[in-house]
Amino acid sequence: MIIDFKKIDRIFDGAEKDNRSFLFEHEVYALLSAAGIKTPQWRFIPAGRRVTRKDLVGLNPGGLVLKVVSPLVQHKTDVGGVAFAASNATAVNTAIDKMLKDVPPRFLAWSGTHYPPASSKAAMSADIRRSIRGILLCEKVDFDKIGFGTELLVGVRNSREFGPVVTAGAGGVEVEYWNERIKAGQAVSIVSAHLVKKEDIAPRLKPLAVYDKLVKPFRGRPAVLKEAALAETVYRLARLAAHYSPFGRSRRVIEELEVNPFVARSGSLVPLDGLCRFSRERVHIAARPVAAISFLLHPASIAIIGVSERMNMGHIILNNILNRGFPREKVFVVKPGMERIEGCLCVPDVASLPETVDLFVLTLAAEQSCDVMAELIAREKARSVILIAGGLGEKKGTRGLEEKIVDLIADSRARGRLTPVVNGGNCLGVYSKPGRYDTTFIPEHKLRFPRSERSDIAYISQSGAFIVSRVSKFQRIEPLYAVSLGNQIDLRLSDYLRYLTKEVEVKIFAVYVEGFKPGDGYLLAEAAGEILGAPDRHIVVYKSGRTPEGRLATSSHTASVAGDYSVCKSILEDAGCIVAESLFEFDSFVKSLSSLAEKTVNGNRVGLLSNAGFESVIMADSIGDGERLDLALLSDGTKRKLAAALAPLGIDKLQDIKNPLDITPVADDAAFCACARVLIEDPGVDCAVISPVPMTPAMQTLAPGPGYAESIFSPESTSSRLIGLFRETNKPFVVNIDAGSSYDPMVFQLEDAGVPVFRRVDEAVRFLRKFIAIAKRRKIRKR
């Protein structure tokens, strides 16, 4: 059945003529019916009209539900606005008379405890009576009652960042209570109305705590709901929401559409209560020339303004540009009164630049930036701009300057003129290895961008400090790009992802975001979906500012159970992103993902190996629940091989052969690594955590030094053997080295060879647990 959008438009027309931006409940029923969703039988009785026998034809003879219809009365049950009556005209009219008598005084009493009085009680009472448009008669729905899970919430909410999202989960009056007490991911399912496909709906619903109870036989009774019926209902609401999206062509936007509850009857869902708010507040998403980012990241020429003879911010940036190898003859400094600075040609003003430069770095104060931008645009002297300008749009008095720059850019593009793409303002700068430049304003002696063999990561962050903190920590990872976005007055996070989709050298996108411009969350998820089609590419996101605004909503439960962070996390994860719950997770994935990119994830059966009893216990404790690892059951053949590897040292007589496997500090390099190999080669093992506590004298775990003969660089050492094993196997495993700085060389040796290394065994297991879960999710998504 198709959705009758013309009929729905007429419903919205009628509400607008009544000066309403919301629908009455019977109008919500009409909307759902036009969308192909079955509703209870109902009649709307206008105020002042008596119910006749004819009005009741077709309604449930077993009883009726009566509901007052008033724009003022949102919480009907609280004020006596809901009643039950037998299915005859006399009983219904009697119930209506009582309701009309009871609602005004009860509403006054209720509102007095929730809102300050706006006028006299007499005036308010008169207003309430006048506001009552009529009574809604609904059939009393007989439905399957199965305890928790009987009632479902399915709602649509418009997010300015992600557009319309659809939420489904346990419903009823206690929806918030259950949502707070059910494990994350099992309380509600949240999907993007624009991005979800029909075949994706059922897999998104299956993790819900109530799902199996609804669609599978339970304690001897048949399933109360068909899986297809549940998925179809959610999909129809998603189609409805996508049509009335702030990004679409419809004149109206559905801000909220909620059914709470849906109940199961005869294998289908039936709505019992509903609300809908709408607006005309569409969001215009301006198209930016994403291809021009090439000039910013791979410039052939650079100009900079704001350079002092002394070591100011501009001079630091100039030095950083030159130190990365950018040719001096293609760097120009806008500085009157000088011929050259650091060997670069100086010109007195923007107009005197000898050519239109690919990249212009603007390091002046916010108050001066607008005039420079105006001249750059007017004279067409730059194809891209990095606008440093601290405080722009944030410092009091600069908001107008930022808006003026935005208007300058938009006007110039509308005229078809050469207009630069702009990164910033209020940004720390940009680093581009392929572009051979660094425009961050941190001197090299305070922050050294590494030069390493591994260079497959792009940092894209609203915070420059977040980037430099990661770069400073991960000195073994040289970024291809590090982009500090700042205020995003022009280029957005999604623009960079869309541009870098074709740069296949970028394997890891490390993204830090605090908030999105309108529509940019949706564009980010859309771009992420394109990037993550390749199995060796990953996007790791840390989202700060997680306070949900949903609890401020006055009319619906949908917003309160699906706050902004939950929406962001769900939609980005649906696109295939890794949304890190902590900085530990973020850093772990950034460091380790490319090392594991070539490994094959076949399941979550883990093998655990250590030479310390406490680590074996902690590893077993850390396999988790929900997104968990299962302890692999070792085959008899594996057990025999492990016993044979341990027999020469007599360890087989000290320890049982089991998983986790503790082979004691007696194990030397050969025994330990032989056990690691046997464990990983077991067909029943999908992945592993290998944790040699390196203080044992039986192993070579130190770099060469005075007073001892061991060396980690020996091909017989534990680290050398583990490197060989890591390169030979296609199964993912991680290594843990829980020890002090004396063992840093061993860690660095492993990391330089591409082996993921952790320094606490619980963190190693926690990382592997989430890595396996994400890999499995991506496999399912691609089917």
Query: What span, in angstroms and rounded, lies between the C-alpha atoms of 275 and 264?
Result: 19
The span from the CA of 14 to the CA of 25, in Å, is 14
Among 256, 279, 302, which residue terminates a domain? 279
Q: What is the mean pLDDT of residues 668-697?
A: 96
In-domain check, residue 333: no
Whether the CA torsion 648, 650, 656, 658 is positive or negative: it is negative
Note whether 550 and 562 are within 8 A (CB): yes
C-beta separation of 297 from 434 below 8 A: yes
Whether residue 28 lies inside any domain: the answer is no
Alpha-carbon gap, residue 496 to 432, rounded angstroms: 13
Decide if 244 is inside a domain. Answer: yes
Locate 578 and state its tokens: 């890794």
Number of domains, the chain: 3
pLDDT at 652: 79
Tell me: do 609 and 707 sit in the same domain. yes
Residue 180 pLDDT grade (very low, low, confident, very high; cuts 50, 70, 90): low
A 10 A CB-CB count for 683 gives 11
Instruction: Report how far residue 777's alpha carbon sits from residue 779's, in angstroms, rounded to the nearest whole number.
Output: 5
607 and 737, same structural domain?
A: yes
The CA-based angle 57-58-59, given to 5 degrees, is 95
Per-residue pLDDT averaged across 43-52, rounded? 93
Pair 171, 83 in one domain: no
Closest CA to 450 of 427, 430, 428, 470: 470
- Domain span at residue 615? 598-782
* CB atoms near residue 464 (< 10 Å): 25
Tell me if 376 sits within 8 A of 352, measured CB to CB.
Answer: no
776, 631: one domain: yes
Residue 124 is assigned to a structural domain of this protein = yes
Q: Where are the alpha helices (DSSP H) in 132-181?
A: 175-181
Would you state the structure tokens that stand for residue 514, as one six-digit string? 């605090």
Residues 6+ apart with CB under 8 A from 244: 164, 250, 252, 253, 254, 278
**Residue 674 domain-assigned?**
yes
> pLDDT tens digit string along 340-353?
999 999 999 999 99
For residue 574, CA distances in Å to 44, 114, 185, 461, 567 come to 41, 39, 12, 21, 11
The band of 621, judged by pLDDT with boundaries at 50, 70 and 90, is: very high
C-alpha dihedral, 323 to 327 to 329 to 333, nearest 10°? -40
658 and 777 housed in the same domain:
yes
Three-state DSSP at 404 gives helix
Under DSSP, is residue 486 helix (H, G, I), strand (E, B) or coil?
Answer: coil
Angle in degrees, 0-180, between the axes of helices 227-243 and 198-205, rounded to the nearest 10: 120
Does pLDDT of 550 surpass 50? no
Mean pLDDT of the chain: 89
Residue 121 has pLDDT above 70, yes or no: no
**More reliable by pLDDT, 208 or 13:** 13
Do both 695 and 744 map to the same domain? Answer: yes
Q: What is the CATH number of the domain that holds 696?
A: 3.40.50.261
Query: What DSSP line would sit under 496-512, residue for residue?
Result: HHHHHTT-TT--EEEEE
Q: Are residues 122 and 270 in the same domain?
A: no
- Clarify whether residues 135 and 155 are in a common domain: no
493 band by pLDDT with thresholds 50, 70 and 90: very high
pLDDT at residue number 217: 85
| Mean pLDDT in residue range 281-292 | 88
Q: Are residues 611 and 668 in the same domain?
A: yes
For residue 752, is it within any domain?
A: yes
- Vertex 414, ends 412 and 418: CA angle to 5°? 45
Are 266 and 225 in contact by the 8 Å Cβ rule? The answer is no
Q: Where are the beta strands (DSSP E) in 462-551?
A: 479-484, 508-513, 538-543
Are 202 and 264 members of one domain? yes
Verify that 212 and 236 share a domain, yes or no.
yes
- 126 with 213, same domain? no
Separation CA 90–CA 292 (nearest Å): 74
CB 71 within 8 A of CB 20: yes
Residue 77, in any domain of the structure: yes
pLDDT in tens, 634-647: 999 999 999 999 99
pLDDT range class, residue 179, cuts 50, 70, 90: low
480 touches 510 (CB < 8 A) = no
Residues 345-401 pLDDT 10s: 999 999 999 999 999 999 998 888 999 999 999 999 999 999 997 666 555 555 688
CB of 701 closer than 8 Å to CB of 718: yes
The encoded tokens of residue 723 equal 């490197």
Residue type, 442: I
Q: Answer yes or no: is 19 within a domain.
A: no
- C-alpha to C-alpha distance for 777 and 570, rounded to whole angstroms: 13
Q: Which of 117, 139, 161 delimits the end of a domain? A: 139
Chain segment 181-224, per-residue pLDDT in tens: 566 667 788 999 999 999 989 988 888 888 888 888 877 788 88
Q: 552 pLDDT band (50/70/90 cuts)?
A: very low
For the chain, give the number of residues.
783
Q: Where among 73, 104, 139 does a domain terminate? A: 139
Concatenating the DSSP letter of every residue in 53-70 gives: GGGGTTS-TT-EEEEEE-
Overall average pLDDT of the 34-58 stretch:
92
In this predicted structure, what is the pLDDT of residue 781? 62
Distance, in Å, from the CA atom of 605 to the CA atom of 272, rounded to the nearest integer, reads: 45
Cα angle value 146/147/149 (rounded, 5°): 80
Mean pLDDT of 619-644: 90
Beta-sheet strands, E only, within 552-665? 578-579, 605-610, 630-631, 661-662
Which CATH number covers residue 270? 3.30.470.20
Dihedral of the alpha carbons of 425, 426, 428, 430, in degrees to the nearest 10: -10
